[in-house]
Amino acid sequence: MANITLYGTPISTYVRTARLLLAEANVDYGLKDIGIFNGDNKTDSYLSKHPFGKIPTLEIEGDTLYEINAITYFINEKFAAGKFAPADLMTRSHMYQIISIVSSYLYSPAVSVLTIENLVKPGQGKEIDQQAVESAIAPTQKALNAIEDIATGNPYLFGSGLTIADFYLIPIFVYLSKTPQFEAVTANAPKLKDWWNKVQTLDSVKEVCG
């Protein structure tokens, strides 16, 4: 088995994306905790692996990969013979479209605002910025509605097999579902609600996101 280390903190959504894929592909790996709230990601030693100081980073047999799209592409091709990307070209393109929507339009309002304000700040003794929360509802709903339109569902985003896009969306739903805004932002996304009920039961999700 190859010598594989994933660097990142277990609570990070993108670290969870990589770990869900590694788990579903049955890959053995080591996890090296790199905290983002205590500055581990800005040390010289970590910046020598990832010059932008983000997580995750994957090390495999002396090679270093950062950026989640590169990491998931590599894991899927190397360890799963590409099975987590749909074979049909248009469906595969739709999968990458959802991945891009998650990173470009969903992550910021759903994670940086709704998750941080509702779930992180109270634990730090900080006040929730209700105005920021209110402003994040419409963009979160818009991104989820777009994903709802593109996904085929039943039961995963693209039918009977998990895809890389599922692993991007699951960690965000893990947090979003705990916020008071969850019903509002998923009001027009019945397929995603069914999807969420299903993916929560996966062993990999319980192991990585539990």
> Quick check: 12 binds ligand GSH (CB under 6 A)?
yes
Find the residue with minimal CB distance to ligand GSH: 54
Number of residues that bind ligand GSH (CB under 6 A): 10
- Please give the DSSP secondary-structure letter assigned to residue 90: H
Mapping DSSP to helix (H, G, I), strand (E, B) and coil, where does residue 103 land? helix
Q: Report if residue 121 touches ligand GSH, rule: CB under 6 A.
A: no
Beta strand spans in the chain (E): 4-7, 30-32, 57-60, 63-66
Stretch near ligand GSH under the rule CB under 6 A, chosen from 6-14, 23-31, 113-121, 133-141: 6-14
Give Cβ neighbours of residue 170 (< 8 Å, ≥ 6 apart): 16, 17, 20, 199, 205, 209
Task: Determine, following the binding rule CB under 6 A, whether residue 173 of this chain makes contact with ligand GSH.
Answer: no
Q: Which residue, chain included where needed, has tokens 């053995």? A: 28
Question: Whole-angstrom distance between the N-terminal and C-terminal Cα of the chain?
Answer: 26
Structure tokens at 73: 């592409």
Q: Does 11 bind ligand GSH (CB under 6 A)?
A: no
72 binds ligand GSH (CB under 6 A): no
Classify burial at 129, counting beta carbons within 10 Å of its beta carbon; exposed 0-12, middle 13-18, buried 19 or more: middle
Contact residue for ligand GSH among 68, 95, 169, 208 (CB under 6 A): 68
Q: Residue 54 or 193: which CB sits closer to ligand GSH?
A: 54
| Interface pick for ligand GSH out of 5, 31, 49, 67 (rule CB under 6 A) | 67
Candidates 13, 118, 140, 186; binder of ligand GSH (CB under 6 A) is 13
Q: What are phi and psi of 6, to 5 degrees?
A: -105, 130
CB of 41 to ligand GSH, least distance (A): 6
Q: Following CA atoms 140, 195, 169, 120 in sequence, which dihedral angle do they give, to the nearest 10 degrees? A: 70
CB of 121 to ligand GSH, least distance (A): 16
Toward ligand GSH, which CB reaches closer, 102 or 148?
A: 102
User: Which residues in 30-59 contact ligand GSH (CB under 6 A)?
Assistant: 36, 41, 53-55
Nearer to ligand GSH, 148 or 166 (CB): 166
